[in-house]
Amino acid sequence: KNDTIRKLANNGVFHLARIAAFLWRRTDDWGNQADLESGISKIELTPEILDAKFDEGFKLLNKTVQQHPQFKADLDTALKSSSLDTEISKSLHLKKG
């Protein structure tokens, strides 16, 4: 498990950033320019507001990997796969609902 944690920390940054952004914004809609600019301004002023979202996001990413044996078996490939991305999306949208 420690090897999984290490690999996720080193190679899962793209997924972690996506998850943290979703958790903070409560959406994956990036079309509202004014909303995006407002969010960026908030982060620039108070970057630590994302700390808890990164912690929560890392837990969600690890849980998603742990729940799927095919991801655990070959984590390097899983981190590049659309299947992991799909499972993350499912987890995020279930969490939102």
> Taking 70 as the threshold, does the pLDDT of residue 96 lie above it?
no
Residues 6+ apart with CB under 8 A from 80: none
Structure tokens at 31: 């079309």
pTM of the model: 0.84
* Backbone phi, psi, residue 68, to 5°: -125, 105
> pLDDT at residue 27 above 90?
no
Whether the Cβ atoms of residue 66 and residue 5 lie closer than 8 Å to each other? no
Distance CA 58, CA 4 (A): 12
For the ranges 32-36, 42-46, 48-52, 81-85, the maximum mean pLDDT occurs at 81-85
Q: Count CB atoms within 10 A of the CB of residue 34.
A: 7
